[in-house]
């Protein structure tokens, strides 16, 4: 009797560990992907799963371009955007292993001109602070330097910009996601290695892992015949967007990769740095992985009882949490028309990567695919993530559309309003972003940025001293209010910008601008 009880108890424990629901099969992933493409209006995607040291799924779906209709396959390159950040942190880890830097080195030791918003922060800002989103500065601060693309800011401009930003929290106390400090990390890698960030990533990571169809930059792709093009459905149908142009270096989001190659990237982490035949080679030390996967900045923990999570935080280029007692490591990426997600559950020896080439539906697509696959391996009952994510996406889009529609309805009703447009003409200058000018263009009030040429467009009266700007750049929803602040004589002295849509991407950090009126030179 006792022996039977022991067998039953052992069987019960195995069920708890393995889950009572079957793990998703490759044909089931195919079916799920095809349904999700249609549901979320996504042009193309690629999905890969690694489990127990093997690639168990690696396929493409849909099309690279809605005009050419060429099919996506497992070797199709997508912009992985902020999934690049994990490559940058690994590059720094390799320099630590080489004895060239330490994680606690102060940035000014290697980049003397680096200047933050006060002397204490400047002197104490270390290399890990570049990677952990705890600078004290606000969400997306300074991203207007490269959103939209095509601006002419240099590394010198970027290094000098931080001193002009107003902190929103005390140093090292609060998480606010940023990109610019990763660009600084890329510059540090270049100065200490003697190679550009792109050359270092290529030589020290991509080549050893035989990620032969992945590239640090789109400019490194000589044969673009298998490159996915970005798309948007913001205007009611699939529309191809131009490829995003990098600025300065790609450390924050420059890599183009495919799911087949990214399997090697996931496997080297799941194998604690080992790779190659019989895992004879080592890309990085296990100590480096432990440091990268250590929580540096804490975050609010998801209270969803489905996953019973107890902690959440950000390490070095990775988000960290626990699901059903297992550690989960993940990151997402987003550029205009390119959205992606990478997720690892090391205790299950499991990794999932999803790449897409359409927004806004791509984020719902990668969420549905990733969570459905993970749930199957966690032994959780199907919860129909596709419907949940569809409702969230639909609600978000409808809310944003309603807000923007109301604004432009108000603008349209103001056509005959008596506004002295001449009062607003002039040049307005921000200390880090430079000059913007308000001028007449064919009799219409217009605004343009001197340094970011895609930020230009007509200004139409909205209310009081506020105008609505319809940028010529429409790859992303970034239309803005232009709000003028007047002196006691009613003369505009300062111009501030604010996104119209509640769904505006955080990288359009208009709130960080303080454009003061200056004389036109």
Q: What is the dihedral of CA 92, 94, 98, 102, to 10 degrees?
A: 30
- Strands (DSSP E) contained in 350-419 are 350-356, 358-359
Specify whether the CB–CB gap between 373 and 269 falls below 8 A.
no
Tokens representing residue 76 in the block = 């199709």
Nearest to 494 by CA among 505, 504, 506, 486: 486
Q: 126 exposed, middle or buried (CB, 10 Å; 0-12, 13-18, 19+)?
A: middle
Q: Which residues of 415-446 are buried (b: 16+ CB within 10 A; e: fewer)?
A: eeeeeeeeebebbbbbebbbbbbbeeeeeebb
Mean pLDDT, all residues of the chain: 94
pLDDT computed for residue 490 by the predictor: 87
**CATH class name, domain 421-518:** mainly beta
Specify whether the CB–CB gap between 455 and 148 falls below 8 A.
yes
Tokens representing residue 224 in the block = 């673009």
Sequence ranges of the domains in the chain = 24-383, 421-518
pLDDT tens digits for 319-363?
Answer: 999 999 999 999 999 999 999 999 999 999 999 999 999 999 999
pLDDT computed for residue 182 by the predictor: 98
Domains 24-383 and 421-518 equal at CATH topology level: no
Q: How far apart are CA 172 and CA 118, in angstroms?
A: 14
Tokens representing residue 368 in the block = 């549905």
Q: Residue 203 has what DSSP assignment?
A: I
Nearest to 68 by CA among 90, 44, 45, 87: 44
pLDDT tens digits for 403-462?
Answer: 999 999 999 998 767 788 899 999 999 999 999 999 999 989 999 999 999 999 999 999
DSSP string, 138-194: PTTTTGGGTSSS-----HHHHHHHGGGSPPSS-TTSS----SHHHHHHHHHHHHHHS
Quick check: 3 pLDDT over 50? no
Specify whether the CB–CB gap between 269 and 285 falls below 8 A.
no
Reported as a pLDDT band with limits 50, 70 and 90, residue 73 is very high
Reported as a pLDDT band with limits 50, 70 and 90, residue 236 is confident
Quick check: 4 pLDDT over 50? no
Partners of 514 in beta bridges: none
pLDDT tens digits for 378-399?
Answer: 999 989 999 999 999 999 999 9
Please give the C-alpha separations between residue 339 and each of 9, 34, 36, 404, in angstroms, as whole numbers.
45, 17, 14, 24
Q: How far apart are CA 443 and CA 301, in angstroms?
A: 54
Backbone angles phi, psi at 124, to 5 degrees: -105, 0
* Coil/strand/helix, residue 262: helix
Q: How far apart are CA 508 and CA 481, in angstroms?
A: 12
pLDDT computed for residue 304 by the predictor: 83
Reported as a pLDDT band with limits 50, 70 and 90, residue 316 is very high
Look at 157-166, 265-274, 300-309 and tell me which has the smallest mean pLDDT.
Answer: 300-309
Reported as a pLDDT band with limits 50, 70 and 90, residue 20 is very low
| Fold held by 24-383 | Beta-lactamase (3.40.710)
């Amino acid at each position: 009797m006792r022996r039977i009880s022991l067998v039953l108890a052992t069987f019960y424990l195995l069920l708890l560990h393995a889950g009572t629901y079957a793990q998703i099969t490759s044909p089931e992933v195919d079916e799920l992907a095809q349904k999700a493409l249609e549901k979320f209006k996504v042009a193309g995607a690629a999905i890969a799963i690694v489990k127990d040291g093997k690639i168990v799924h690696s396929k493409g779906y849909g099309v690279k371009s809605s005009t050419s209709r060429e099919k996506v396959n497992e070797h199709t390159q997508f912009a992985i955007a902020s999934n690049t950040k994990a490559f940058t942190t690994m590059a720094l880890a390799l320099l630590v292993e080489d004895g060239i830097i330490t994680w606690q080195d102060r940035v000014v030791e290697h980049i003397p001109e680096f200047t933050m918003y006060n002397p204490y922060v400047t002197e104490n800002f270390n290399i890990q602070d570049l990677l952990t989103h705890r600078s004290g500065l606000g969400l997306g601060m300074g991203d207007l330097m490269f959103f939209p693309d095509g601006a002419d800011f240099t590394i010198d401009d970027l290094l000098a910009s931080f001193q002009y930003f107003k902190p929103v929290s005390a140093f090292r106390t609060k998480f606010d996601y940023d990109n610019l400090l990763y660009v600084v990390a890329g510059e540090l890698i270049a100065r200490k290695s003697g190679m550009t960030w792109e050359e270092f990533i290529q030589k020290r990571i991509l080549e050893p892992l035989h990620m032969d169809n992945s590239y640090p930059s789109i400019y490194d792709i000589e044969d673009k015949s298998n490159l996915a093009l970005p798309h948007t459905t913001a205007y009611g149908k699939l529309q191809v967007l131009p490829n995003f142009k990098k600025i300065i270096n790609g450390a924050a989001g420059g890599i183009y990769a495919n799911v087949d190659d990214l399997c090697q990237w996931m496997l080297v982490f799941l194998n604690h740095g080992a790779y190659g035949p019989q895992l004879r080679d080592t890309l990085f030390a296990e100590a480096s992985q432990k440091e990268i996967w250590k929580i540096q900045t804490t975050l609010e923990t998801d209270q969803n009882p489905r996953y019973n999570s107890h902690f959440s935080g950000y390490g070095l280029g990775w988000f960290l949490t626990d699901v059903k007692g297992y550690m989960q490591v993940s990151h997402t990426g987003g550029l205009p028309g390119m959205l992606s997600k990478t997720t690892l559950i090391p205790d299950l020896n499991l990794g999932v990567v999803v790449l897409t080439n359409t927004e806004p539906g791509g984020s719902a697509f990668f969420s549905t695919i990733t969570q459905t696959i993970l749930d199957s391996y966690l032994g959780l009952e199907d919860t129909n993530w596709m419907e949940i994510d569809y409702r969230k996406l639909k609600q978000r889009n409808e809310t944003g559309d309603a807000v923007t529609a109301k604004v432009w309805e108000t603008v349209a009703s103001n056509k005959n309003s008596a506004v002295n447009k001449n009062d607003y003409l002039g040049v307005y200058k921000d200390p880090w972003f430079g000059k913007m000018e308000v001028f007449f263009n064919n009799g219409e009030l217009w605004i343009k940025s001197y340094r970011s040429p895609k930020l230009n467009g007509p200004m139409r009266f909205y209310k009081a001293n506020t105008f609505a700007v319809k940028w010529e750049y429409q790859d992303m929803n970034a239309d803005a209010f232009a709000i003028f602040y007047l002196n006691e004589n009613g003369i505009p002295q300062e111009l501030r910008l604010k996104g119209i849509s509640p769904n505006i991407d955080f990288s359009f950090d208009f709130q960080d601008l303080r454009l003061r009126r200056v004389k036109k030179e």
